[in-house]
Amino acid sequence: MSSSPRVADVPRAARAVVTTSIHIVVSTLNLVARDGNYDSATVDGAVETVVAKVAFVDLAVTIIVDTVTFFFD
């Protein structure tokens, strides 16, 4: 009788890689879903521009945190 592995059994580095990969895929899909041609003179365009920039910052912070966790934790 086999049981599925618990989260605690998975090495921390593997979890960091999976988490980062998920963030990369989600952020990429989020940005691809937009056309990238925002008119920042309109409210909608300004909001879309901010959302796209936040997605990139979120991805960068996730990669940095996961890298630091991988090497120093």
Block means of pLDDT (10 residues each) for the chain, 73 residues, are: 59 76 74 60 72 79 80 70
Q: How many domains does the chain have?
A: 1
In a domain, 22, yes or no: no
In a domain, 2, yes or no: no
Q: Which residues span the domain enclosing 46? A: 38-73
Give which of 27, 22, 25 is closest to 51, Cα–Cα: 27
In a domain, 1, yes or no: no
pLDDT at 40: 59
In a domain, 6, yes or no: no
What is the rounded radius of gyration, in angstroms, for the C-alpha atoms of the chain?
Answer: 17
